[in-house]
Amino acid sequence: MSILQQYANQKETVFFLDPPYTADGKRAGSRLYRHSRLDHNKLFELAEGLAGDFLMTYDDNTMVQQLAKQHGLMHRSIPMKNTHHSLMQELLIGRDLSWLG
């Protein structure tokens, strides 16, 4: 989050944000990452305020969809495979996802 704040005003900086999937009580991120504790609302606030562009990936759940909506961001559900090759849905989040078609 400190890196986002450091470069927040630089229009030429583009971010790819892939936070641990711990929103809405999901635990996979807690098992997989040493630094999994995250204030998801704060992350969305910072993303909304970035001068440059960004693309964020997240677990597809109602809480994350609501956070995106509250911060004026678009979200689109896409298929993905987890490490066990099971098909799941994931969210792409950004200001403009029109390039997805």
Q: What pLDDT score does 85 carry?
A: 87
For 21, other C-beta atoms within 10 Å of its C-beta total 22
Rounded Cα–Cα distance for residues 53 and 89 (Å): 23
Q: Three-class SS of residue 2?
A: helix
Task: pLDDT tens for the chain, 101 residues: list them.
Answer: 899 999 999 999 999 999 876 665 555 555 555 655 788 999 999 999 999 999 999 989 999 999 999 999 999 999 998 778 889 899 999 999 999 98
- Among 19, 11, 21, 79, CA closest to 49: 11
Q: What pLDDT score does 38 carry?
A: 81
Which structural domains are found in the chain, ordered by start?
2-100 (3.40.50.150)
Name the strands in the sheet holding 87-94, side by side, starting at the edge strand that comes first in the sequence.
15-17, 54-59, 87-94, 74-81
Rounded Cα–Cα distance for residues 5 and 7 (Å): 6
